Amino acid sequence: MAYPTTNSASRKRHVPRLKFRDERIFYYLALGPTTIVIAFVIALPIIYTFALGFFVQNTLIRTWRFAGLSNYSDLLTDADFWIAFWNGVVFTVGSTAVATVVGLAIAILLDCNFRGRGPLRALVIFPYIVPSIVVAFIWKFIFSGRGILNDFLSFIGAQAVSVPWLGDQRFAMMAVILISAWTWFPFAAITLLAAIQNVPDNIYEAAALDGAGPVRRFFHLTLPLLAPALMVVVLIRAIWAFRNYDMIWLLTKGGPIGATEVLPIMAFKEAFGLFRMGHASAVSVYLMVFVTLLAAIHFRVGARLRQAYDTS
């Protein structure tokens, strides 16, 4: 076996060696450009926003005044801020719950064997790929005072309950939650379908032999085995919902009378309606803190669940 040895040795001599004494220098160089880009497009705006919160600044009359922590502390006693916060919580919990439950039901349905399953799987994706602006128009059309929903209600003789759904303080949040859930259930359905298909069939067969009927199989096997995927769906959805701006803005602009005003809408109105950049920045910073907390839970709990429910 002398030949390959000499061959590889002679080949080695032609390989240009890295000149770096320390490998770490190479890593820093490799990561450097990305770090700089991230610093400019992510870190810098965050720091700038955070700093803006310490000033009273009016973009219209261009005044700057250092205000210390007053923007931050004022918000904590501002009733509107807390209303927006709780609206955000209601919207997040509501739309996440509806999207996840509907998504799970659809995922289970799509896992069953029936004719037309393939086209249906493709169709389910539809709400997810429609741009927000189109979704908003479709649903505004359905939910408006003279929309399809009310036409239908009067058709079945229930004129009494026909209201301008998005324009009524009592129903606006519910309508926004449903519409938002409609755009998001495909994500839940597809993610959960993939997770369901990952569970080996013979676990269910073993359970069937062990005496578990379909309902008990669902609660004792499907649900626990889907826990990691459910956690991902719920937390990602929650993070997105809490900072959601476009859908609510397009549907109600936070109205009527603040019924659907959430923190991102409040920040937008403060900044570009009232031109109070300091205030708006403080709202944004609080929003960022809440979302970061959700993200932290996502990474912590998600990792633990994935480890605990490893099906391999």
State phi, psi for 244 to the nearest 5 degrees: -70, 135
Query: Least Å distance between CB 197 and another protein?
Result: 15
* Six-digit token string for 155: 């058709």
| Whole-Å CA distances, 69 to 52, 55, 134, 282, 285 | 11, 9, 41, 9, 12
Between 99 and 231, CB nearer to another protein:
231
State the CB neighbour count (10 A cutoff) for residue 248. 26
Query: Least Å distance between CB 207 and another protein?
Result: 7
Between 198 and 292, CB nearer to another protein:
198
DSSP state of 18: P
Between 131 and 224, CB nearer to another protein:
224
State phi, psi for 111 to the nearest 5 degrees: -80, -20
Between 7 and 198, CB nearer to another protein:
198
DSSP state of 12: H
Query: Least Å distance between CB 226 and another protein?
Result: 10
Between 43 and 308, CB nearer to another protein:
308
Query: Least Å distance between CB 111 and another protein?
Result: 17
From the list 178, 206, 175, the residue with the least C-alpha distance to 98 is 178
Query: Least Å distance between CB 104 and another protein?
Result: 17
Binding site for another protein (CB under 8 A): 200, 202-203, 205-213, 216, 220-221, 224-225, 227, 308-312
Please, are residues 128 and 186 in contact by the beta-carbon 8 Å criterion?
yes
Radius of gyration of the CA atoms of the chain, in A: 27
Angle, vertex CA 134, rays to CA 131 and CA 135, nearest 5: 85
Query: Least Å distance between CB 260 and another protein?
Result: 39
Residue corresponding to tokens 């109070």: 276
* Six-digit token string for 274: 């009232």
Between 130 and 199, CB nearer to another protein:
199
